[in-house]
């Protein structure tokens, strides 16, 4: 067990906790999540820190309502992939698996008249797929975005063969670029892809801070990395 008797805090994160986590990531980078509490004294387990970063603090996360294009994309991807949210999210720029999953369960499943709560099937994992995901670690393209052929399985609604899945996925790429261009990048005059790549490749955290402090965004934080 992690923490060795430490009492980890649960529930919503405070701004101060976010700041501590951001500071840690600025200095140490992503990963090594279980060290966060040791290094910073943050009373959060590694998993919680990782989740907070991936679903909220990461500049890769787009906030706000889903557009029609995104809805359509998710619906079609879900037809192909079933409840494999990380794969779906990997094809919807700026959205996390958690966002996509929530959006599906609260909006799209109703819209489509799908009872998403039924059939509590534990999602299967596929060794080849997992391996591929591990091997593709390019930060600018979500590591989950590597789409792999699905085995024919009764756990999901996928009924397509490998080639059909690949072809269908290819067809989404133009749409994805459109969604990127239309919805994500231009809020602060910094293209999303550009910002993300600059941040990750060039480690440009000033760019990141401008993103966080962008007053047009719903959420921003009262701190920035002014000493970098």
**What does the binding site for DNA look like in residue numbers (CB under 7 A)?**
2, 9-13, 31-35, 44, 46-48, 50-52, 55-56, 83-87, 97-99, 101-103, 105-107, 110, 117, 120-123, 125, 127, 130-131, 133-134, 143-144
Nearer to DNA, 136 or 203 (CB): 136
Nearer to DNA, 141 or 181 (CB): 141
Residue 22, sorted as left (phi over 0), alpha (psi -120 to 50) or beta, turns out to be alpha
CB of 126 vs DNA, minimal distance in Å: 8
CB of 66 vs DNA, minimal distance in Å: 8
CB of 116 vs DNA, minimal distance in Å: 8
* Burial of 212: CB neighbours in 10 Å, binned 0-12, 13-18, 19+: buried
Nearer to DNA, 165 or 181 (CB): 165
Nearer to DNA, 51 or 166 (CB): 51
- Using CA atoms, how far residue 97 sits from 7, 43, 90, 102, 142, in Å, is 28, 25, 8, 8, 11
Angle at 179 between CA 173 and CA 180, to 5 degrees: 90
Alpha-carbon radius of gyration of the chain = 19
CB of 226 vs DNA, minimal distance in Å: 25
């Amino acid at each position: 067990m992690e923490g060795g008797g430490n009492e980890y805090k649960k529930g919503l994160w405070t701004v101060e906790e976010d700041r501590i986590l951001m500071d840690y990531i600025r200095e140490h980078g992503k990963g090594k999540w279980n060290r966060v509490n040791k290094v910073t004294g943050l009373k959060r387990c590694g998993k919680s820190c990782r989740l907070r970063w991936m679903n909220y603090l990461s500049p890769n996360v787009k906030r706000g309502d889903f557009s029609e294009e995104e809805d359509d994309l998710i619906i079609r991807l879900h037809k192909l992939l079933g409840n494999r949210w990380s794969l779906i999210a990997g094809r919807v720029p700026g959205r996390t698996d958690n966002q996509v999953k929530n959006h599906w369960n609260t909006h799209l499943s109703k819209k489509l008249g799908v009872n998403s709560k039924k059939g509590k099937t534990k999602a299967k994992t596929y060794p080849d797929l997992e391996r591929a995901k591990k091997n593709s670690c390019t930060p600018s393209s979500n590591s989950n975005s590597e789409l792999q052929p699905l085995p024919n399985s009764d756990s999901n609604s996928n009924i397509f063969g490998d080639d059909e899945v690949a072809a269908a996925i290819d067809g989404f790429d133009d749409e994805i670029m459109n969604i990127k261009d239309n919805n994500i990048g231009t809020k602060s005059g910094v293209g999303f892809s550009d910002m993300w790549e600059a941040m990750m490749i060039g480690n440009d955290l000033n760019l990141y801070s401008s993103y966080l402090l962008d007053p047009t965004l719903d959420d921003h934080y009262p701190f920035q990395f002014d000493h970098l």
